[in-house]
Amino acid sequence: MKIIKSEKFNKWYKKLDMTQKTQVDVRFTRILVDNNFGVFKKLGDIFELKFKSGLRVYYAFDGKKLILLLNGGGKNTKRDQSKDIDQAKQIYQEYLNGK
């Protein structure tokens, strides 16, 4: 399985502190090594990885071998979370349109 990160995801990831980055990296390692996604939620065409710390990572699949990391965020407010989800869906549509 391969992971591709969007520019939006990379910008979000850079802002995380070392503890948060470690949480995200450990989850990605579990996904790649054991196909263990942990706690997640399906949101239509995209998915939301949930972390106990409140972090959220939005992703989608392109076939069975590729995961697209679209966006990240926190569970700050419902409005912020809805905005992050909408942005992730938009990034995914742009990806599909550019294929």
- Tens digit of each residue's pLDDT (9 = 90 or more) over 37-57: 999 999 999 999 999 989 999
3-state secondary structure of 38: coil
What domains are there in the chain, each with its CATH number? 2-98 (3.30.2310.20)
pLDDT over threshold 80, residue 75: no
Q: What is the pLDDT of residue 77?
A: 61
Nearest in space to 91 (alpha carbons), one of 46, 37, 44: 46
> Taking residues 80-92, what's their average pLDDT?
91
Residue 16 in tokens = 């995380």
Output the pTM of the full model: 0.89
> Taking residues 57-72, what's their average pLDDT?
88
Contact 89, 8 (CB under 8 A): no
* Mean pLDDT value across the chain: 90
Which residues in the chain belong to E strands, given as ranges? Answer: 2-5, 40-43, 46-50, 55-61, 66-74
Q: What is the pLDDT of residue 78?
A: 66
For residue 7, the tally of other CB atoms under 10 A from its CB is 8
